[in-house]
């Protein structure tokens, strides 16, 4: 009954009424959690009881709930309901959509079109909202994340509206014939698919990404789209760095890359290949061609057909694929044998367990000892230092990482051109990277995961000395320079924004960063650091740190100080 009361209450109160919201929101959420419980007993009981409770006037509320969403996505600013009302409407619709008795009723009232329009509207006008903003009772001194304690990923995060909209839509589409979705509306269908793929790729929270993937499943697209997957798809047709040959009965062999199978689908590699250990000695130092592995031949079962294998490899390399229902049946069997649990769950349409992490497209594990077996290139840091303590694969005396051309290939245009150039460097086993060891580790992490490791934060950062903070920042300044030279625009932008965000709260670091940036020709960063130093110019100009700067940099800071004074209406004479 409290669930029904929450719908009625949302019609009568505003978002700011904490008293009513603290009663209504928990009731609707509790019902939602029980209906979508991984326990079949709890889920079936909750659905049965809710159906009974809604028996009298349940259908009467559907129109109101859908009207709330239509008002939000209409573009009329005066008709947009409060965030609290939207949360209750979407939570309630997610519950309604899970009840077979009411699914058809919601669909007949345009539920699929209204929800898809709302999601498209949210995508263009994102409303970031976490639970505490509509349910003040969940706030406490202990509800925030402890700064130094890693917390588990927040499944819905600040995208409650998007998540609940996707949950409701996924249930309705599951109940509807997929052929009837977006019938004769190909442009609208294509645009909606792009929105869902964008959620899978760029959303920060697992919940919306999972349900977007579930909806794509009903539109004939399977898997977990990712930015990395888009880049790696082209490797399927690349035989230059392939080192494994999959043999299918009465078919042409398929050439693939061992390191990609190792990370994404190790079941396709024979066990002896995983245990084999590769070593590098001084004779390999100059020529990577001598390091190339022999082609490993893997004979597949006669039950594996070429079409199913092609789609499976498309998933392994890109994270997603398009397929019809007949092919999906074959892929379920193949995916089970390959132990691809997340793909099996998606192909079967199994109930999603709340809190399940979204599958990542990450090759970082290839840097571990097992991955060195497939390595064909070594990256050495420019700075001298002791050899790697844990490297049992070689006796190289400088800090280095064993990496894979096939992983670097799609991620870096500069290295791709180098490998194809035919010059002496393209055949060398080692590449010297003009950065320090810490920078090299972060660079390789970017290549293998698409993520830039961040410096320490919270009270750990606050307790660092000035020199220690500068040492934390130095690799990012180096990477800014290297990214510019190696044409890594995304990496350059990430490093630049990270440095600026830290300088914004630690402006006193700017005087060291400005010289560091100038030495590496990072003049955009020099300008930003000068802006942060401009209010402090009069205090700094007689300091020893200021005197150590190049004359050109001092002039840049002085000019920034003049502009700062003019903007603030108190121009002073600077000498």
Is the per-residue pLDDT at 442 higher than 60?
A: yes
Bridge partners of 159, per DSSP, are 129
The answer on 211 and 234 residing in a single domain is no
The dihedrals phi and psi of 202, each to the nearest 5 degrees, come to -115, -10
Question: How far is residue 143's CA from residue 458's CA, in Å, rounded to a whole number?
Answer: 16
* Same-domain pairing of 157 and 19: yes
163, 303: one domain: no
pLDDT digits (tens, 9 = 90+) for 123-147: 888 888 877 777 655 555 555 555 5
Higher local confidence (pLDDT), 271 or 254: 254
226-254 tens-digit pLDDT: 988 888 888 888 787 888 999 988 888 99
384 in any annotated domain: no
Of the residues 219, 247, 264, the one at which a domain ends: 219
How many Cβ atoms sit within 10 Å of the Cβ of residue 54?
21
Q: What is the pLDDT of residues 87-96, one digit of tens each?
A: 888 999 999 9
* Three-state secondary-structure class, residue 6: helix
Residue 357 lies in a domain: no
Kindly report which listed range (21-35, 189-203, 407-421) carries the lowest average pLDDT score: 21-35
Q: Which range is least confidently modeled, 15-29, 94-108, 511-525? A: 15-29
The position carrying tokens 């990270």 is 498
Q: Which of 99, 21, 27 is nearest to 59 (CA)?
A: 99
In a domain, 422, yes or no: no
State the residue range of the domain holding 197. 2-138+153-219
Q: Which helix (H) or strand (E) holds 246?
A: strand 244-247
Distance (Å, whole) CA 201 – CA 203: 6
158 and 252 assigned to the same domain: no
Could you give the C-alpha distances from 23 to 20, 131, 254, in angstroms and in order?
5, 13, 60
State which of 62-76, 305-319, 420-434 shows the largest mean pLDDT.
Answer: 305-319
Please check whether residues 180 and 269 belong to one and the same domain. Answer: no
Q: Is 69 helix (H, G, I), strand (E, B) or coil?
A: helix
Instruction: Tell me the pLDDT band of 536, cut-offs 50, 70 and 90.
Output: confident
**Contact by Cβ (8 Å): 157, 205:** yes
Q: Are residues 98 and 213 in the same domain?
A: yes
Mean pLDDT of the chain: 84
HSE-up of residue 389 (Cα within 13 Å, Cβ side): 0
pLDDT digits (tens, 9 = 90+) for 108-120: 899 999 999 999 9
Domain of 118, CATH number, reads 1.25.10
Contact 69, 115 (CB under 8 A): yes
Please report how the helices 40-53 and 18-35 are oriented relative to each other, as an axis angle in degrees rounded to 10: 130
Position 364 in a domain:
no
Per-residue pLDDT, averaged over 545-550, amounts to 84
Q: What percent of the chain has pLDDT over 70?
A: 82
159 within a domain of the structure (yes/no): yes
Task: State both tokens at 397.
Answer: 């005396």
How far is the CA of 333 from the CAs of 168, 256, 325, 341, 390, in angstroms? 29, 21, 13, 11, 40
Does 492 map to a domain?
Answer: yes
> Is residue 555 one of the residues assigned to a domain?
yes
pLDDT in tens, 414-425: 999 998 888 877
Claim to verify: residue 235 and residue 200 sit in the same structural domain: no
Q: Residue by residue, what is the 3-state secondary structure of 470-496?
A: HHHHHHHHHHHHHHHHCCCHHHHHHHH
Domain boundary among 169, 200, 219: 219
Shared domain check, 563 and 511: yes
- Residue that has been written with the tokens 């997929």 in this structure: 178
Render the burial of 75-108: b for 16+ CB within 10 Å, e for the rest. eeeeebbbbbbbbbbbbbbbbbbbbeebbeebbe
pLDDT computed for residue 228 by the predictor:
85
The span from the CA of 405 to the CA of 313, in Å, is 19
Q: Measure the CA–CA gap between 306 and 247, rounded to whole angstroms.
A: 10
Assess whether 60 and 191 both reside in one domain. yes
Residues 8, 121 share a domain:
yes
Give every CB contact of residue 136 below 8 A, 6+ residues apart in sequence.
Answer: 18, 21, 22
110 and 198 belong to one structural domain:
yes
At 175 the pLDDT is 83
In Å, what is the CA distance from 307 to each residue of 217, 251, 269, 315, 326? Answer: 19, 11, 19, 13, 11
Helix (H) or strand (E) holding 119: helix 111-124
Task: Grade residue 271 by pLDDT with cuts at 50, 70 and 90.
Answer: confident
* Average pLDDT estimate for 13-36: 71
Q: Confirm if 435 and 419 have CB atoms less than 8 A apart.
A: no
Tell me the pLDDT tens digit for each residue of 286-325.
455 545 556 789 999 888 999 999 999 999 999 999 999 8
d(C-alpha 294, C-alpha 289), whole Å: 11
As a whole-number percent, the residues of the chain with pLDDT over 90 amount to: 47
18-22, 121-125, 366-370, 395-399: the lowest-pLDDT one: 18-22
Report the pLDDT value the prediction gives residue 507, as an integer from 0 to 100: 92
- Choosing from 330, 348, 366, the residue where a domain stops is 348
For the ranges 187-196, 276-285, 305-314, 351-360, which has the lowest average pLDDT? 276-285
Closest C-alpha among 15, 109, 9 to residue 69? 109
- pLDDT bracket for residue 152 (50, 70, 90): very low
| Helices and strands: H and E segment counts in the chain | 29, 8
DSSP state letters, 290-338: GGPPPPEEEEPPTT--HHHHHHHHHHHHHSEEE--HHHHHHHHHHHHHT
Task: Please say if the pLDDT value at position 19 is more than 80.
Answer: no
Q: Which pairing describes strands 296-299 and 320-322: parallel, antiparallel, or unpaired?
A: unpaired
CATH of the domain at 304: 3.30.710.10
* 470 assigned to some structural domain: yes
**Distance from CA of residue 453 to its chain's centroid?**
13
* 204 lies in the same domain as 256: no
What's the structural domain count of the chain? Answer: 3
């Amino acid at each position: 009954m409290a669930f029904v009361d929450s719908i009625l209450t949302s019609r009568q109160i505003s978002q700011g009424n904490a008293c009513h919201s603290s009663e209504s929101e928990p009731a609707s959420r509790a019902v939602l959690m029980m209906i979508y419980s991984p326990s079949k007993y709890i889920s079936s009981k909750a659905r049965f009881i809710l159906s009974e409770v809604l028996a009298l006037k349940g259908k009467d509320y559907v129109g109101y709930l859908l009207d709330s969403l239509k008002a939000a996505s209409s573009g009329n600013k005066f008709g947009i309901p409060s965030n609290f009302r939207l949360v209750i409407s979407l939570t309630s619709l997610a519950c309604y959509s899970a009840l077979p008795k009411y699914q058809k009723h919601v669909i007949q009232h345009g539920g699929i079109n209204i929800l898809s329009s709302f999601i498209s509207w949210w995508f263009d006008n994102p409303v970031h909202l976490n639970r505490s903003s509509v349910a003040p009772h969940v706030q406490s001194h202990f509800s925030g994340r402890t700064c130094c304690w890693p917390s588990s990923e927040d499944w819905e995060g600040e995208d409650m509206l998007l998540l609940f909209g996707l949950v409701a839509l996924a249930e309705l589409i599951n109940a509807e014939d997929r052929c009837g979705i977006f019938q004769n509306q190909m442009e609208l269908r294509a645009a909606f698919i792009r929105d869902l793929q964008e959620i899978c790729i760029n959303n920060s929270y697992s919940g919306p990404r999972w349900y977007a993937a579930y909806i794509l499943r009903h539109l004939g697209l399977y898997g977990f789209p990712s930015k990395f997957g888009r880049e790696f798809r082209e490797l399927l047709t690349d035989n230059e760095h392939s080192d494994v040959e999959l043999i299918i009965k009465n078919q042409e062999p398929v050439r693939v890359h061992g390191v990609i199978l190792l990370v994404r689908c190790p079941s396709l590699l024979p066990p002896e290949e995983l245990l084999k250990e590769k070593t590098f000695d001084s004779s390999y130092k100059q020529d990577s061609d001598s390091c190339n592995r022999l082609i490993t031949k893997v004979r597949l079962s006669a039950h594996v057909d070429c079409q199913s294998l092609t789609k499976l490899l498309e998933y392994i390399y890109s994270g997603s694929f398009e397929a019809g229902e007949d092919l999906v049946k074959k892929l379920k069997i193949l995916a089970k044998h390959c132990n691809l649990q997340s793909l099996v769950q998606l192909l079967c349409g199994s109930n999603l367990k709340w809190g399940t992490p979204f599958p990542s497209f990450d090759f970082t594990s290839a840097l571990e000892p097992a991955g060195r077996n497939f390595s064909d290139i070594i990256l050495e840091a420019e700075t001298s230092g002791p050899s790697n303590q844990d490297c049992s694969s070689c006796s190289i005396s400088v800090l280095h990482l064993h990496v894979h051309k096939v992983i670097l290939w799609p991620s870096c245009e500069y290295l791709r051109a180098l490998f194809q150039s035919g010059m002496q460097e393209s055949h060398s086993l080692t590449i010297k990277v003009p950065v320090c060891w810490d920078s090299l580790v972060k660079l390789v992490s970017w290549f293998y995961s698409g993520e830039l490791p961040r410096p320490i934060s919270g009270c750990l950062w606050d307790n660092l000395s000035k020199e220690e903070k500068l040492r934390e920042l130095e690799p990012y300044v180096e990477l800014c320079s290297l990214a510019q030279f190696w044409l890594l625009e995304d990496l350059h932008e990430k490093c630049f924004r990270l440095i600026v965000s830290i300088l914004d709260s630690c402006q006193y670091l700017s005087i060291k960063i400005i010289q560091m940036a100038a030495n590496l020709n990072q003049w955009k960063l020099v300008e930003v650091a000068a802006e942060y130093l401009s209010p402090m110019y009069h205090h700094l100009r007689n300091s020893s740190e200021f005197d150590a700067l190049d004359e050109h940099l001092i002039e840049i800071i002085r000019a920034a100080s003049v502009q700062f004074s003019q903007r603030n209406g108190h121009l002073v004479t600077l000498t």
